[in-house]
Amino acid sequence: MGRTVVTSPPPDSPTTARRLRAARALWRVVAGRAARLASGAHQAWRRSLQLRVVTITLVASSLLVGGFAYLIADKITNILLENAETDVLVRLRNGSEYASSQLKLYNQPQEAQLQDTVEGTVNYLAGGDPTQTSGVVVAITADNYAGVIQPRTSPDVEVRPLISEELRATVAGGKIAHQIRTGTLGGQRTKYLVYGSPVSTGFGQVELYYLVPLARQDATAADARATVVATGAALVLLLGLLAALVTRLVVTPVRVAARTAQRLSAGLLDQRMVVNGEDDLALLAASFNQMATNLQRQILRLEEMSRLQRRFTSDVSHELRTPLTTVRMAADLIFAERDEFDPAVARSAELLQAELDRFEELLTDLLEISRFDAGFAVLDSEPTDLVPVVHRVAERLAGLAERAGVAIELDVPDSPVIAEVDPRRVERVLRNLVGNAVEHGEAEPVRITLGMDQSAVAITVRDHGVGLKPGEEKLVFNRFWRADPSRARQTGGTGLGLSISLEDARLHGGWLEAWGAPGQGAQFRLTLPARAGDRLTTSPLRLVPADAALPFGGPRDGGALAIGPGSGAGALAIGPAVDGKAEVVS
């Protein structure tokens, strides 16, 4: 006889694998939707004051009304039960007296008519009382005379399962007792209030029990609970609606004020709130409008003062051009003939020439700043290879680096780095950054790094001087700001170079950032979009150098030639040579 063997696929079968993949995919979908719902609910909770107030009101009122409804329903149930107990107790006492009067006629439990009397008494107590509730079961038992006196019930049902042994023992001991039991009498499961009382007779004691169904009381209590719950739910909804309406009355003016404030912050100074009524919210709107008016007046006054100041600076700068040209011509003539003067006069001619150069630079910077302030600065973008620009800046500052004993190291790619920039402005930014690095380099090498990615180009200038204190990386771009006013300057700068450089970077849509730490030097990073008009998101080079936490190593001899690793054919270092000439090695 053959056997049919049914085997399940192994755990690694294709069917099991497909089921696992489907289960994982379903779990990812469900988890993703749940995460999105939770995120949306969290954002709505954080952003909506009205939602928070309504939710808190609903939760608090639900707890309060729920507790109140529970107390009311419990109280109603207890009252109904107490009424039922009182009614049964009265009937029990009356029935006990009646049964005692009937059974005292017998002195022996074996008398022939006793069983008939017990049955008649039970039938009378079950139906003879006109106030009795339909469904009441009356029973007489005689536990002390079991087998002699048969228990009788009306109607004829089995009540022994509903009368516990504890209740039988208590009633047999001569006390009235009661309990609530649930059982099946007559084919329907019902909760009963069972009361028992001893009945004295001529031959001893029997027990009388009343079993009263609590179906009507339960139904009444259920109706009461339903009514209380429905009333509570309606009250909670009304409270939530009321909270929403009241909150809306308060939140709407606040939202209007917030939108008006946003428009004011965007420059729309003529925005005002509508004032309705004379309540607190109207007072808020009126105060807000007054504040906006005062703010507009103050801003306009400051703008006018700023405009007059810019015009004054521009006019003064232009007016100084003519006398400066005359003084320059006279100073050049005196400087050219200084060899024929006394040494003191010759030295004065040299100082005059140097200060005129500095004054002319300051005047040029002031004119440039005035153009930025007036919004007249124009960007002449063109595709430019930045590698020659970096080399040109390094070569022009080689003399300054030689005098300061600083080596300028270049880390530039071999291939061209093309970007749509204004070469004149980029070169000016680099001159300012490298000049500052040389001046503050403390005879340590200055490294210029050029990098590029698909969307941006970046140039970093790293020095290893005294560095910047916390917070000074923002102050260095302020006009005429100096970290140490007592420090002797090598270049005789105007104090406007970094401010102009920042404006040049902004004009390109780029960034000019600074990093520094005491004792670790500083690094400035210029980041420009590769294509004019693009928006920057990242920079190809790090702002914080990789060696920020490490001491700078390498040769410190003023005549040493610093050579470092490059990103192409090698690093280019420009520094002072032993013979006093700048040497360029690639």
> What are 508-557's pLDDT values in tens digits?
899 999 999 888 899 999 999 998 888 888 899 989 888 876 444 433 33
Q: Whole-model pTM?
A: 0.45
d(CA 264, CA 293): 11
Backbone angles phi, psi at 461, to 5 degrees: -125, 115
Closest by CA to 565, choosing from 451, 457, 407, 449, is 449
The residue whose two tokens read 């005379």 is 145
DSSP 156-213: ----GGGS-HHHHHHHHTT--EEEEEEEEETTEEEEEEEEEEEEE-SSSEEEEEEEEE
Q: What is the mean pLDDT of each run of 10 residues along the chain (586 residues)?
A: 48 73 87 85 78 85 86 87 87 87 82 83 72 69 79 82 85 86 76 87 86 85 87 88 84 82 82 81 84 86 78 71 80 82 83 79 71 72 91 89 89 90 89 88 89 92 88 80 56 69 88 90 92 88 80 36 32 35 31
> What are 336-370's pLDDT values in tens digits?
888 888 888 888 888 888 778 777 777 776 777 77
Q: Are 446 and 409 a contacting pair, CB within 8 Å?
A: yes
What does the pLDDT read at residue 15? 79
